[in-house]
Amino acid sequence: MHIIHVNLARGFRGGERQTVLLIQALAGADGIERQTLVCKPSSPLRDELAGTPGLKFTNARHQLAGHWHAGKADVVHAHEAKAVHWAWLHSKLFQTPYIITRRVDTPIKRKLSNKAFYRNAHYCVAISSAIAQEISTLTFQKIPIIPSAFTPVSPNPDVVKELRDGYSERFIVGHVGALVDRHKGQRVLLEAARQFQVTRPEVLFVFFGRGEDEQILRQESASLSNVLWMGFKPNIGDYLPMLDLFAFPSRNEGLGSVLLDVMNAKVPIIASDVGGIPDIVKHKKTGILVPPNNSEELVEGLEALIKNEQLRSTLSFNAFKQLERFSPDAMMDAYLLLYRTT
């Protein structure tokens, strides 16, 4: 079987990480003879997947490019919005069935073109129930829900020790995400930090990531001595074990696959009750959920977790136990079933 994957994103975020995990898992799967990744010439996916057995790359700067070089395949898998247009066009050129994976819960414009793209897909996959609801009016097909996978990593103990030794007297609350406040809600967490600077100065808020709001967020928090900006870390798995608690105050979220990596690091979670997050974080079982856009509720939840070590331990233990169904192999098996029934 020959699978063409399409991801025309410029950068590297959660969806691109999931594209990598799936392609790597499929490289060792029975019946998968070839894989092709259609991506931009400058895509970070190329470095991430260099040397993957049976994988070839096709350049595509836009949705109209790369079709003849990619050629025929058994199925095309579109991993993001621009890839959907590419997959639809390829199906017209080569009669190749295509699958769409929708990873974000933002509304899709109900244009005639989008309706055609989704209704002609063999499967439209959602990574969460919230996304399935969003795309349900665009397709007549039943929508499979295949959640994202965690990233298997073995943290570098030297990195963890160095960081913990540097802040041995601090309780560390971490956050990982693109620094785009309208999506990830970093300002909500900064408001919590502003309050904790007075009430709990031992708590340190550590932010990982970069994005369009990075400069303004740094400026707005310049007076906060309990906030540390670490920038983007490609090896984020080395840093997660240093955290005592993970905060994820998203304003909207398709699923939040980084939460799975945090669970794998056995770090307790407090997150917004929004989008697909409740699919993986069960309130008071595998984490704490709070209303989005509400710093007071976030402060209250943080305070409860900081004071209760047993609660943190129970939540992180329960979260780690559920990870088997979020493994890369589980994701691969679910997609293989769809590929083989197109």
Q: In what helix (H) or strand (E) does residue 328 lie, and over which residues does it extend?
A: helix 328-339
The string of pLDDT tens digits covering residues 19-48 is 999 999 999 899 999 999 999 999 999 999
The residue with greater pLDDT, 318 or 162, is 318
The string of pLDDT tens digits covering residues 264-287 is 999 999 999 999 999 999 999 999
3-state secondary structure of 201: coil
- For 286-299, what is the mean pLDDT? 97
The string of pLDDT tens digits covering residues 77-134 is 999 999 999 999 999 999 999 999 999 988 898 899 999 999 999 999 999 999 999 9
Supply 338's token pair: 């769809």
Lowest average pLDDT, out of 61-65, 155-159, 305-309, 318-322, goes to: 155-159
Supply 56's token pair: 């070839």
Enumerate domains of the chain plus CATH numbers.
Answer: 2-149+327-339 (3.40.50.2000), 157-325 (3.40.50.2000)
Supply 182's token pair: 């309208």
232: phi then psi, degrees, rounded to nearest 5:
-80, 135
pLDDT at 133: 93
Residue of 176, 161, 179, 172 whose CA lies nearest to 302: 172
Q: What is the mean pLDDT of the chain?
A: 95
